[in-house]
Chains A and B, each alone.
Chain A
Amino acid sequence: MPTAALPAEGHLLIVGAGLAGYHTARGVRANGHTGPITIFGEETRPAYDRPALSKAYLTGAVAEEDLLLDDPEDPLDVTWVSGVGVVSLSGNPEGTETLGVHTADGRFHPGDAVVITTGASALSLPVASSEQGISARPYVLRNMEDALALRETSLQGLAVAVVGGGFLALEAAATCTERGAGSVTVAAGEQLPGARRLGTAVGEAILSAHQAHGVQFAPPARAQAVRSCTRGHEVILAAGETITADVVICAIGAKPRTEWLLDSAVQLTSGHGAVMCDDTGATCIPGVYAAGDCAQWASHSSGLRPVGHWQEAVEEAAVVAAALTGADPVPLQEPYFWSDQFDLRIQGAGRIHLADEVTVVDGTPQEGNLLVHYARGGQNLGILGINRLRDVTRWRKQRRIRPAQLHSPAAEHPMTVGSHPTAAETAPTAA
């Protein structure tokens, strides 16, 4: 057993009441930590899960309480400090400065270990306001407050412009269409949305599904700014064209929420300002860890893992929890993401960004059943399926490193190693 970074009775401080923060707390409790846990969250709402904010929450199909992370029937034994942001971190690599955090209300909270899980904030386009007194913040989608603002805006018959070519932008475009927008135009920055990262066939599949529902795509030029006047907004593209819209949504990426760490001793990456960590989440300050969207672990920078997906935040939290409690380290699985757009359920797994060959294994871009493999030097590195849940699940599970005991439902069913079928033994059945 590795040594625990946090004594079992010690006080754990978690900064950021989001997905990674919740799962870190859950993990250390599951590993037997008995000391106090305090989770600081700057939002006043109870901690919630974000993926639905661009999907079912935005259409109104699910409510806030459906997205809460903590289970009201089995709540975590933690103290939530909500509605107050953490403004600085105390502690140094030499261990001579008291470990703890300062909150915006001026209080200092000492602790025996600190986990940084402050996530990221949405980037937006510069606003070039053309008429006096017109404020024209485009909508973004990161917090529930952002999504609520958009959800409460009637889109019926309005012209919506979505800036961004990633899944968040495409999900927003699909949701606005479903909500009855008069027109939806996506400035994706490329001819086939997603093709640069995922290959032409996937780009074609996404394009054809969106076009079938009337979504339009702007010429593939970079969006530079939003200009607003009393009549509405204009998205200005690099080539000089503009998209006129009543509602503009920016989904052009996110930036780690680490501004509060600028004066601290933790190291931030020069590019994005993410917290630099080793592959257990440890920073250069003993007892200080980071996980989720705000963190860059060593293996990310060697190109091994992408940044900013749900599963990654959950997995990193489990690794940090193991390091804190001295439990056996949890092996990491292949990276995984999913996205829902109209009737496409897209799932990708593996190190797709390293691949240089893309092969369509089955299906076609037009039928909503595409299955694509990614390889480099003949070695299969990743998979992407559209409405291919069984295929993607099988690929992921057969490549996984077996989970440590930590996550096995051992009490109910003891783990048996090596009993799962290989691809050769399983034949597809009707689904």
Chain B
Amino acid sequence: MWNTIFPYLLSGISVGGQYALIAIGYTMVYGILRLINFAHGDVFMVAGIVMVYLAASGLPLYVTIPLVLVITAAIGFLIERVAYKPLRSAPRMSVMISAIGVSYTLQNLVLYITGGLNKQYPTIPWISDSVTIGSATTKLVTVITPVLTIVLVVALVLLINKTKIGMAMRAVSKDFETSQLMGIKINSVISVTFVTGSFLAAVGSVLYFTNYPTVIQTSGAMPGLKAFVAAVFGGIGSIPGAVIGAFIIGIMENIIKGLDVILFKAGVISKPLGLATFSDAFTFALLIIILVVKPTGLFGEKATDKV
């Protein structure tokens, strides 16, 4: 029984870690701007595309991977400056629409560049190697992802709670005007938030796409949406919430993928029921249930409108 479940659990934890790295970007931006950054999933996809082209240029991986992280962070910075900052005092709906615009702009830009073809994601040695742990044979990335995720989350939490810029981020997330009275440049703090979120999404993209052969302009949609649900589930605005939500969704969705096999081996069913089909539906059913039962999520604050 355990041996049957374990491989699914393991890949669930891994996928959960990848969702977590994306979900943090959603939750941080929401925390500071009360904005659902619809373009975040596409930033994640663009990180994948940037990797494809950088790897094709023949640069060694120890150069391309850091470059992907830096370029993606820069893209996050630019998006905020170009599409959100000019709307700082506009109604929130306008910013939301701008975010949707950015999302489609990025997808179409990539469509134009790639011609809409699936682009082969480079194989990153070492993390693509196979390992066997107990009953599971998987790529090393599966094991590395949750460890790296936890390390990055701890670093981020320390940044937010122990540093001056982190203190400014917490202040700005509560009160723009009073933060300005303290001498905080809110635009810089907001930029730091976007850079951090995009950087983490880029790390997530390297880990995520290593498990998939190709990247295409729509590749960010599903993981982006899952990560968004994770952020809502955890309580949008809360970083621990987003991480826990992401792990729960990753694990549940992978267990459901294996449910036929698990139940069959356990003798509960005698022929496959095709339950794996429901793995995506589960995530979105979960979203609906949270929104109905506990709109603030696991760790969310009460919805307060910022003055």
* A, B from the same assembly: no
- List chain B positions with a Cβ less than 8 A from chain A: none
Chain A interface residues toward B at CB < 8 A: none
